[in-house]
Amino acid sequence: MSEVVTYKREDQIAYISVNNPPVNALSLPVRQGLEAAFTKFANDNEAKAAILICEGRTWIAGADITEFGKPPEDPWLPKVIHQMEANEKIIVAAIHGTALGGGFETAMGCHYRCAVPSAKLGLPEVTLGLLAGATGTQRLPRLIGVKRALDAMISGAPFSASNGLEWGAVDEIVDGDLRDGATQFTKKLLAANAKPRRISDEEVDGLELNEHFFNEYRNGMAKKTRGFFAPEQIVKCVEAAVSLPYKEAVEREGELFMECMMSSHSVAQRHLFFADRACAKVDDVPKDTPLRDIKKVAVIGGGTMGGGIAMNFANAGIPVVLKEINQEALDRGLEIIRSNYNATVTKGRMSAEQMDQRVGIISGVLDYDDLSDCDLIVEAVFENMALKKEIFGELDRIAKPGAILASNTSTLDIDEIAASTNRPEDVIGWHFFAPANVMTLLELVRGAKTSHEVIATSMAMAKTIKKIAVLVGVCFGFVGNRIFFPYVREAQQMILEGVPPERIDQVAFEWGMAMGPNGVSDLSGLDVLDKVKSEWLDRPDDPALWAVGTKLVELGRLGQKTKAGIFNYAGRTAVPDQVVADLAKSEATRLGIQQLSEVSDEEIIERLMFSMINEGALILEEGIAMRSSDIDVVFVHGYGMPRYRGGPMRYADTVGLSNVVAAMEKYRERYGDMYWTPAPLLKRLAEEGGSFSG
């Protein structure tokens, strides 16, 4: 018997226990252990029933993701599940924690399922670009119905044990000790002379389906699953469950699973699964670094960004003080916060009581001295170095010893800001992304003197407020904006060259971006970008850099907030404007920029994406980012890049670095060395046949 799977019989009941910390993943030793245990159970004449139960904090939480992409090793999970199900004696799954993916498929291979009230069940494989390929797409529709099964698998969201009981996925809820409760449930089954109940023998309930059901379902999920490969394959599997015999449908599931597994989408999504976890690791900050207590937070600046930042802490139950320069601005800031919460209540995502509780721990002040008892102070005023240095001078005067002083700057030098204090070790960048109460990314910027305690505490607090934190170094724009600037540059350069801005955005959208670069610029505010350019002291000596945006700002076209920018706006709908095309042509003539007679979609994507990739390679060489996957996390969580692309550096690996370099050399020949000289790291990796992901 395997060390991770044990077999013990007490009277008529065999207890098969899995103990594979930390989450009882279905690694090869676990699968081998289950196969051996259920073989022993089948041959144990004294055993009349078996209970499959797990040690530790959870039931089998899923497959061992480190095995994905490798040659399968026997026994594969479907084989184990079918072996379990075929047993002539009843098998009961006793579930606690999370039964997800392969874990839930294993539970569905049992004849009966009981669970504690707090248990969660589901098939989240879609989040990795996969489908439940160990008979899950065939079993779940038989258990809970086609529509519910599709919803669960397409969203990947787990459902509660109580929902499982209501829908038919769970047979018994166990209050109290799970082992005792499962034993009592199993004894009741034996007393009733219950027989094995095999899901594979059951028919899919098709009463809810009309002839157009699957097409209508596809239409309904289209917007949410745009661009992703796996959701359509899941629908195909469920169609097979409805229309084919079980054995043939399982074979179809296996074929579609392998198509998903081999797709670039799944490779990218699995890459991000690990990248999201890797970014929490900071090699030079010891794990046992002491953390500072953060019991009260201040936010300086009550605008849209400052209010959103304050909401993050209030949502985590941490009292927040909002500082503004006058009562009118403070009242406006507090009202924006209340309005944001009220919108969430109106949508049914929060109760009025929860809103009152969160608003109740946000207070406002006008005097810096009222921040003297705060443990963390986040400055969130607009991007102006002189103003930020003035504020940090005040914070140095009033903040208590050990308080963390954070700037929400998106571009400016944290070391210069820190130098305006006598405690640079307490200063760090906390770059939130708008809207700050929604976006999951938090770019933490370490200065030259930022202490390990401040870094470790910031990383921990980011997790508390449910952010993905990426630690980066100091340069203009840090990681996110420094790589984003070439994206905007190429978009505006193509407008000067005669490419319609709506076409650029449509191509980027079809590639997978949440919005095109011109729409994003309008949303951010062209005046904001122009202000950033004025603060960018070492920007390229290029009069064409963001020239379209600068001219539009001069005309008062600032973007969505003025209903006109690169596009006109009817509400939030972008409408092309001939005025912009004429302005771009005029500027191109003034700057001596040649109009392009034809630009392919491929060129648009190459110029947008490869310019970012090259900047990412420079950032890696300079040590601004710790690892290439951190850059990918920044762009997926902060800039609307689709998970199925994996981020810019993963996308470079997908395309092939030699192909990236070849394209860059092509544009270098056309435009010169300023922007299109391949970064040394990129060129070296391409020559070696290497990749950013190793």
- Please indicate, yes or no, whether residues 491 and 374 belong to a single structural domain of this protein: no
CB-based burial of residue 442 (10 Å sphere; 0-12 exposed, 13-18 middle, 19+ buried)? buried
Q: State the Cα–Cα distance between residues 683 and 690, nearest whole angstrom.
A: 10
pLDDT of residue 1 exceeding 60, the answer is: no
> Which residue type sits at 319?
P
pLDDT tens digits, one per residue of 7-57? 999 999 999 999 999 999 999 999 999 999 999 999 999 999 999 999 999
Cβ–Cβ under 8 Å, residues 580 and 501: yes
Point out the domain boundary residue: 419, 451, 472.
472
pLDDT at res. 2: 60
Dihedral angle sign, alpha carbons of residues 31, 36, 41, 42 = positive
Cα angle 88, 94, 97; round to 5: 145
Dihedral angle sign, alpha carbons of residues 162, 167, 173, 179 = negative
Task: Please name the residue ranges forming H helices in 297-384.
Answer: 304-315, 327-346, 352-360
CATH, residue 329: 3.40.50.720
Structure tokens of 202? 């059951």
- Please indicate, yes or no, whether residues 310 and 373 belong to a single structural domain of this protein: yes
- Please indicate, yes or no, whether residues 117 and 192 belong to a single structural domain of this protein: yes
| Mean pLDDT, rounded, for 619-636 | 98
SS3 573: strand
pLDDT at res. 71: 79
Concatenate the DSSP letters of all residues of 70-103 into one string. SPP-SSPHHHHHHHHHH-SSEEEEEE-SEEETHH
Q: How far is CA 108 from CA 58, 93, 114, 687, in A?
A: 16, 8, 11, 50
Please name the residue that has the structure tokens 């860059």: 664
CATH, residue 126: 3.90.226.10
Could you tell me the pTM of the whole model? 0.94
pLDDT at res. 256: 98
Is 273 among the domain residues?
Answer: no
Point out the domain boundary residue: 262, 285, 312.
262
Cβ–Cβ under 8 Å, residues 414 and 383: no
Across the chain, what does the average pLDDT equal?
96
pLDDT of residue 566 exceeding 60, the answer is: yes
pLDDT tens digits, one per residue of 284-330? 999 999 999 999 999 999 998 999 999 999 999 999 999 999 999 99
DSSP letter assigned to residue 228: -
pLDDT at res. 656: 98
**602 classed as catalytic:** no
pLDDT of residue 646 exceeding 80, the answer is: yes
- Please indicate, yes or no, whether residues 307 and 241 belong to a single structural domain of this protein: no
CATH, residue 559: 1.10.1040.50
From 533, 445, 440, 452, select the one nearest 489 (Cα to Cα). 533
- Please indicate, yes or no, whether residues 13 and 155 belong to a single structural domain of this protein: yes
- Please indicate, yes or no, whether residues 427 and 517 belong to a single structural domain of this protein: no
pLDDT of residue 207 exceeding 80, the answer is: no
| Mean pLDDT, rounded, for 246-251 | 97
Is 570 among the domain residues?
Answer: yes
Strand 13-18 vs strand 49-54: parallel, antiparallel, or unpaired?
parallel
Is 20 among the domain residues?
Answer: yes
From 300, 674, 263, 265, select the one nearest 486 (Cα to Cα). 674
The three-state DSSP-derived secondary structure of 380-409 is CCCCCHHHHHHHHHHHHHHCCCCCEEEECC
Query: Choosing from 35, 46, 55, 125, which is the catalytic residue?
Result: 125
* Other beta carbons within 10 Å of 280: 14
Is 272 among the domain residues?
Answer: no
Is 83 among the domain residues?
Answer: yes
Cα angle 205, 209, 213; round to 5: 140
SS3 113: strand
Point out the domain boundary residue: 237, 262, 287.
262
pLDDT of residue 343 exceeding 70, the answer is: yes
pLDDT at res. 658: 98
Concatenate the DSSP letters of all residues of 479-542 into one string. THHHHHHHHHHHHHHHHHTT--HHHHHHHHHHHT-SS-HHHHHHHH-HHHHHHHHHH-TT--S-
Helix, strand, coil proportions of the chain in percent (round to 5)? 50, 10, 35
Q: How far is CA 226 from CA 511, 517, 643, in A?
A: 10, 18, 11
DSSP letter assigned to residue 325: S
**Residue 104's pLDDT band (boundaries 50, 70, 90)?**
very high
- Please indicate, yes or no, whether residues 342 and 402 belong to a single structural domain of this protein: yes
pLDDT at res. 482: 97
Among left, alpha and beta (phi > 0; psi -120 to 50; other), residue 327 is alpha
pLDDT of residue 172 exceeding 70, the answer is: yes
- Please indicate, yes or no, whether residues 188 and 322 belong to a single structural domain of this protein: no
pLDDT of residue 72 exceeding 80, the answer is: no
- Please indicate, yes or no, whether residues 425 and 343 belong to a single structural domain of this protein: yes
Is 279 among the domain residues?
Answer: no
Counted domains in the chain: 3
pLDDT of residue 64 exceeding 90, the answer is: no
Is 287 among the domain residues?
Answer: no
Q: State the Cα–Cα distance between residues 374 and 44, nearest whole angstrom.
A: 65
pLDDT tens digits, one per residue of 530-541? 999 988 989 999
Structural domain of 98: 5-262
pLDDT at res. 641: 97
pLDDT tens digits, one per residue of 514-558? 999 999 999 999 999 999 998 898 999 999 999 999 999 999 999
Is 355 among the domain residues?
Answer: yes
- Please indicate, yes or no, whether residues 433 and 493 belong to a single structural domain of this protein: no
pLDDT tens digits, one per residue of 116-154? 999 999 999 999 999 999 999 999 999 999 999 999 999
- Please indicate, yes or no, whether residues 569 and 651 belong to a single structural domain of this protein: yes
Query: Choosing from 105, 324, 379, 490, which is the catalytic residue?
Result: 105
- Please indicate, yes or no, whether residues 310 and 165 belong to a single structural domain of this protein: no
**125 classed as catalytic:** yes
